[in-house]
Structure 1
Amino acid sequence: MALRLGTSRRLASSAAALPLALGGMIGGGAVLGMAPAAAAAGPWSLVGVVVAAVTAGCAATATSYQAQHYPGGAAVYAASRSRLGVLPARITSSAHLAGHVAALAAVAGALGELLLPAAAGPTGAVAVLLVVLAATAGLRIRGGAAWAWLLLMFGVLAIVVVLCWAIPPVPAMAGDRSGADEAVGIPGAAGLLFFAFLGFERLSAPEPDDDRFTPRASGRAVLLALVVAAVVLLALGWSALHQLGAARLALSAVPLRDLLGAAAAAELAPLLCTAAAVALLPVLLAVLESARPTTTAAVDDGDLPGALRRFGAHGTPYVQDLLVGGAAAVLVLLVDPVVAMAVASCCLLVHHAFGSAAARVLLADERRWPTRAACAGMGLSVVLLMSMPIAAMLATLAVVIVGPVVMGAVSRRWS
């Protein structure tokens, strides 16, 4: 196990990228996604996991082919700018940046709820700032450390699943229903659970200087990550529905803690919740790192201030990190983690909808399967986006209006 100090430009191998991508998917989604998905679709939320995974798979396919033409982590942005135009690219980059700020706030809020429920907001804000400082100092989690943290999260979730099935659940009272147990809620649940599959761009759009990460290796890594994440979420969601029922799960603020209480394992809750909170720390670092490529590309194109391109002694864009982390810390104090998760999902669905549209144009004269995947990804992203909570859609609408206006003012170019 090794914690290595290095520059943000040095790329890890696919073996290191896989646990980081998987940890980002499973960590945030498992802790945050179960309760709101159950509120949206009740037991049908398990179907939502599958729909979200298919949507992510289509988006990953589009991103992978874009990365072959526009290498690097900003492949979606670069393809959107080249194939769709300046305005779609600005919408894409605005949604990407805002989505990562909201994702940081969501994961940090979940960490706070697990670690110190009485002061969840301040705890989450402090966690974000500590991760930003660590990133600015050049800390990167790679090698055995990445796998160890992933196994820690797997271990916590495995224990919770086993305990959920260890004793029979309390029988539901007459008339105790979720209020949302029809299939019509599946798109809403899938839109929220899309958050659980974010992070695949680490695998589908690696940096260009890693010759070990071939397109075939990238495709296999993406498929493995999505399948594993879906299986884990299905197992956890099924266990939670079995033990709590859809009604109680939908009302749960901290499902992991409530599941342990329902399974007569409340004495294990402090230990397991602390372990889960610790396992979320690398997720915060991964989200922060994932925000950099698109933001840096927008700076290079003149749409954002050049100060965001400044690198510190360890090669990290410290101004970017401080601004993104500061915004996320404020958001943690103001917004519930589930709301932040919904906003993150909305923004990143917009990002991938435009990315899939750009991939469709890029692949118009090429192989049929990637083209169909891009079309499906675009359509599914729009459907899930339109099924999200109104507040999250309004926040995303504000982002896609204000972001391009600000970028136009900064660059003094409108086309």
Structure 2
Amino acid sequence: MRKLLIKNGQIHTMAGREFLGDLLIEGSKIAALGEALEVPQDTQVLDASGCLVLPGLIDAHCHVGIGEEIYRWEGEDFNEMTDPVTPDMRAIDGINPEDEGFRDARLGGVTAVFTGPGSGNVVGGTGVVMKTAGKIVDKMVIRDPAGLKIAFGENPKMVYSEQKKMPMTRMGTAALLRQALVDAEVYRDKLEEGKSDPDKIPERDLGLEALMKVIQKEIPLRAHAHRADDIMTAIRIAREFNVDLVIEHCTEGHKIAEELAELGYPAVVGPLLTNRSKVELKDKSFKTPGVLAKAGVKVAIMTDHSVTPIEQLPLCAALAYKAGMEKEEALRAITINAAEILGVADRLGSLEIGKDADLVIWSEHPFQLTARPLYVIIDGNIVSPESRKDGIPHAF
């Protein structure tokens, strides 16, 4: 079994422990942490003296692989904008592991992402949590499906008003989502009846199967919502159907922070390192993640890559810290909080025995402008620094 020992690093576990010492990797898992660990035979050793060792960063909302940034329509697989309700779409079928964005992620210390459909449809399809290193998507995936994308506000209105079909209003968006969830409840009930009466088993419906995972709380709705009123509509519907919900973007979340905290829904905030490209972003602020966190909302920070380049995830968190978010909370927003919101905290987000060996050795704290990820390790393998095709190392 492959063994790798990281020695003499400042290890910040994101699990309540920070110390100067060692971390042992056996195979793809963390095997031990402590001071002056014994070096097993046939172990590769990395000296991390003067460096900070952190869990790999996690981008809790992006479109890496499914929206290939150097292409035009050839690599744009965000939305199947021919029908406003497409729950049967699966991100895994549109992800290209050779997208340059995966390499950029690794160069920025991002070792895992949630990637999925865009926000052109009321119901867009399911997304996945996956590693950022690998050749085959199926082997990179950690959780599939990891959530069902839904969208409120301007995007679905814009797409379908141009097609002269529903939804042309916010009311229409909410109505279509409600009907989709009702249809899933009916489908579920018919399947249950079919257990005792085979004649009542309905014809198989892949879209309703995806929606059933939501109403059975196997996966959450992941709601694109910028404005405060759209956020509350998403919550209203989630409460009506008693389903789990993650608020994505949450641009005006600071306006209703106490209410969100009381209701208990997590928020994945961003992209913040961008311009105000539409009316819904008029109150965009790097203060929002900190306001939400201080109110008691569990917060992750996203890039929405390629809106903000994915390698700038630590910069986004650093700017939230600069705007008033607690430093440790900003770091949690791109590590353990993100893992918990994505339902993969048993494997990712912190450095603990038995978890995946996904970690980064930083030259200094990643919130420093001069910080560089000296080594990026995924599943126990050193995947960065990397070289270009001409053999010249990439600058971190």
Structure with a larger share of its residues in strand: 2
Bigger radius of gyration among the two: 2
Structure with a larger share of its residues in helix: 1
> Taking structure 2 as the reference length, what is the TM-score of the superposition?
0.24
